[in-house]
Amino acid sequence: MKMSPKSEAAAYLIWSHCRKIGWDITTTDCARELNLKRGTVQRIAQLKGWNNRFRTLVLDSQGLFRGPVREPSRMSAEQAQEELG
Number of domains present in the structure of the chain: 1
Q: How far apart are CA 17 and CA 19, in angstroms?
A: 6
pLDDT for res 72: 39
Instruction: Write down the pTM of the prediction.
Output: 0.67
pLDDT at 29: 92
- Which domain covers residue 22, as residue numbers? 5-84
pLDDT of 21-39, one tens digit each? Answer: 999 899 999 999 999 999 9
User: What are the residue ranges in the chain where pLDDT is below 70?
Assistant: 58-85
Element (H, E) at 58: strand 58-59
| Residue 23 · residue 54 · CB < 8 Å | yes
Q: What is the CATH number of the domain that holds 45?
A: 1.10.10
What is the CB neighbour count within 10 angstroms for residue 57?
Answer: 19
